[in-house]
Structure 1
Amino acid sequence: MYDGYGWRREYQEDLLAYFISNLMNLEGKSLKRSISPSELLSPLRKHSEERNKEDEEQYLRETFGLNVFKE
């Protein structure tokens, strides 16, 4: 039962990453390059013991070339 839950969760994440990457590539004409679903999923699939939101945000900004200012 737990394996089925994990499979469904991964399937939903894959589906969301697919559609989000399409939206980002369509709307994000200022991006330096296109973003694939696997690039969006790589931080989720990586198992780390402690996650720091600010470090992850900075990593994503550098990886995808986003220059959005914080409010």
Structure 2
Amino acid sequence: MVPVSRSIISSSPIPETADEATINKERAEIYSFQRSLDNKFDHLSGSIERFISSISGGPSSDLVNKTSSD
């Protein structure tokens, strides 16, 4: 990992001297990034649920259980 100085971590992504247009632009970019993460998380969550369903209660798991009990 690359060490990061504490001043970078604690500083705001928007400079204190920024004008309103800059602040609004930064907020829009942050909002867009958050929405992107939300969409990726929703997709990942759905994929995990489908995977768990397929190995725990789906029709294919019945075949696996039947084969292993023979």
TM-score (norm 2): 0.40
Q: Bigger relative contact order, structure 1 or 2, given CA contacts below 8 A and separation 6+?
A: 1
TM-score (norm 1): 0.39
Question: Would you tell me which structure has more helix in proportion to its own residues?
Answer: 2
Structure with the greater alpha carbon radius of gyration: 2
